[in-house]
Amino acid sequence: MTDFIHSTETDYILPPTVLCDFYKTSHRPQYPKGTEVIYSTLTPRSNKFMPMIDKVVTFEIQSFVKEYLIGYFNKYFFARKKEDVVAEYARVIKFCLGEENPDTTHIAELHDLGYLPVRIKALKEGTLVPMRVPMMTIENTMPKFFWITNYLETLISAELWQGITSASIALQYRKILNKYAMRTVGNTDGVEFQGHDFSMRGMSSLQSAQKSGAGHLLSFVGTDTIPAILYLEKHYNANIEKELVGTSIPATEHSVMCANGQDEYEVFKRMITEVYPNGLVSIVSDTWDFWNIVAEIIPRLKEVIEKRDGKVVIRPDSGIPEDILCGKYIEDLTDPNYPDTKPEHMIDHFSEKLHEMDLCGDGYHGDEEYEFAFKLDGKYYRMTVDVDYNRHDKRYYYIESTKMRKVEEFTPSIEDLGLIEALWNIFGGSITEKGYKVLAPCIGAIYGDAITLERCETICERLAEKGFASTNVVFGIGSFTYQHNTRDTFGFAMKATYAVINGEEKLIYKDPKTDSGMKKSQKGRVVVLEEDGELKYIDGLNKEEQVSYFGKDQLEQVFFNGQLHRDESLQEIRERIEHKI
């Protein structure tokens, strides 16, 4: 945890009392007189910006409680002198908001109490939560401190959304990779290593890297974000001496390759015979000429690589990932049901494709010539097709006719084949029970530039279309995945839904008429129930009605009056997630 040091005469940390938006400091007197309880829920409201994910992973609540509600508040508020914590709060309010004599009574009263009078209930961490189902509730436990529930909202939101979001995205990667492993291999052995966290350098801060990286490690064990591993030891009872929390392999970077000079054969040979004569090693291979490495250098080192005890992992780091790994898209039109098909017969297929393309419209049309590459019975062909256009009312163009100009066989370049097929042609490998090719164990590939969920699926699909197992590639998942998100990615919000005012229960909610309905909150107290393996919530409850669901409600007490009430382990969370994949 970082201490924020004031650089004037007195050094001090960032006061816990101001870990919020400014407007939170003004809310206490705004509540109705006689307010005794404020109860709020934390909910993922929408997957509008990430529709492929319909459930989020419950995470970070335990670490937040430990790090802030217990650790930070105890050390930097309750354990310090009351006059000091009151004075530093008053100073901020006075000089930033212009209040000459800020009311600090509530701050002094909280310090006198000695703990945070708050109850937090939450789903078990690792639980998959559908949109609009609350994963956490929070309420004050003493009437005097009704103001503290939503005073904590800003801090809760800031500390929770990113870890939850990254954990949810990592799980989606795992689902994709599991799906293709089952399709092309027949099992998911080793998939936990297939998603590797490359994101740390691109995250907004060390803290973001820890939280996001920890979320990644709920679904994978491959990571280069070392602090995320230690974060899980600190907050989630992990132990690197007793379990595999996270791991990586030796790997070169461009500075190493540049410093060793441009004789890439000698550089590669030195890396795999002198520096790392055995074991796993990843070598970045596009410092100068990636395709020369694949076409010339690696074949020359074939015998060395095959005799070496370990795996050499080739890492391209630029270009279009799909094409680098899978080659140019060349459709295989071989159909065993029609063994006598000739290349020229494919004109009907490509004519149909041209009609499906958006080539014509009001005042425009496409090119007059198109070239298609395809594969037929193990041979590669290029077909050139001429297109004639006509138009209705001298405006709306349409395809009048298509005609094959020529079709000719060609030898694909190494760029056409892509890295995986090129490595297969050099080293060979084995065939899985599902009939797909797996590279020899001495060679592999990893790609970690601009990988997204969509690209991951596209690469796996294109490899399968070429007859290769998805497990031939490890995906480096970087900040392009984990930092390209906001609180709105899953619409996280903490909203008050229940209050007690002068002893009377109030079921409160928001439902803006100018909104689409996404911002409508729950109403009253809530419970979350599991029915047929799915979670749903019931709201509109008063306290007595909520209590009647005791034993069924999936929301469990995590924090109460300064004490942690549930302490889960990384192993438990991983098992919970694995069970739901």
Q: Is residue 119 part of a domain?
A: yes
My answer on whether 390 and 523 are in the same domain is no
Mean pLDDT of the chain: 95
pLDDT at 330 over 50: yes
The DSSP result for 238-303, as a single string, is: --TTTS---B---B--HHHHHHT-S-HHHHHHHIIIII-SBS-EEEE--SS-HHHIIIIIHHHTHH
Q: What is the pLDDT of residue 9?
A: 46
Same domain assignment for residues 149 and 37: yes
CATH number at residue 57: 3.20.140.10
| Domain end call among 383, 409, 435 | 409
In angstroms, the CA 315 to CA 450 distance is: 13
pTM for the structure as a whole = 0.92
Domain assignment present for 295 = no
Residue 50 located in a structural domain? yes
Indicate whether 23 pLDDT > 80.
yes
Residue 348 tokens read as 């009907």
Residue 558 belongs to a domain = yes
Segment 110-160, tens digit of pLDDT = 999 999 999 999 999 999 999 999 999 999 999 999 999 999 999 999 999
What is d(CA 522, CA 538) in angstroms, rounded to the nearest whole number? 9
Determine the pLDDT at residue 394. Answer: 82
Structure tokens that stand for 163 in this block: 């870890």
Concatenated DSSP letters for 74-110? IIIIITS-HHHHHHHHHHHHHHHH--SS---HHHHHH
Tokens found for residue 513: 């008429």
User: Which of 382, 364, 362 has the alpha carbon at shortest distance from 372?
Assistant: 382
Tell me: the pLDDT tens digits for 481-491?
999 999 999 99
The answer to whether residue 526 sits within a structural domain is yes
Residue 34 in any domain: the answer is yes
The residue range of the domain holding 397 is 331-409
Q: How many CB atoms lie within 10 A of CB 117?
A: 20
DSSP line for 416-455: HH-HHHHHHHHH-EEE-TTS-EEE-TTEEEEE-SS--HHH
Section 269-284 average pLDDT: 98
Helix/strand number for the chain, H first, E second: 21, 25
Contact 327, 415 (CB under 8 A): yes
Residue 6: pLDDT band (50, 70, 90) is very low
**Is residue 531 included in any domain, yes or no?**
yes
pLDDT at 4: 44
Tokens in use for 206? 């060390």
What is the reported pLDDT for 395? Answer: 87
Residues 506 and 394 in one domain: no
Helix (H) or strand (E) holding 476: strand 473-477
Mean pLDDT score, 532-537: 95
Of 381, 409, 437, the one marking the end of a domain is 409
Specify whether 535 is located in the same domain as 399: no
Q: pLDDT confidence of 393, banded at 50, 70, 90?
A: confident
404 lies in the same domain as 525: no
Number of domains in the chain: 2
Tokens of 182: 């089952």
DSSP reduced 3-state for 354: helix
Comparing 396 with 13, the larger pLDDT belongs to 396
Query: Which of 367, 390, 409 corresponds to the end of one domain?
Result: 409
Torsion sign (Cα): 65, 530, 48, 578: positive
Tell whether the model's pLDDT for residue 571 goes beyond 50: yes
Q: Mean pLDDT across the stretch 45-52?
A: 96
- Does 375 share its domain with 505? no
Residue written as token pair 């601009």: 450
The residues, ordered by sequence, that sit 6+ positions from 137 with a Cβ below 8 Å of its Cβ are 39, 40, 41, 42, 120, 121, 122, 525, 526, 555
| 30 and 153 fall within a common domain | yes
Same domain, 33 and 157: yes
How far, in Å, CA of 12 to CA of 4, rounded?
A: 7
**CA–CA distance, 253 with 274 (Å, rounded to integer):** 17
Asked if the structure places residue 179 within a domain, the reply is: no
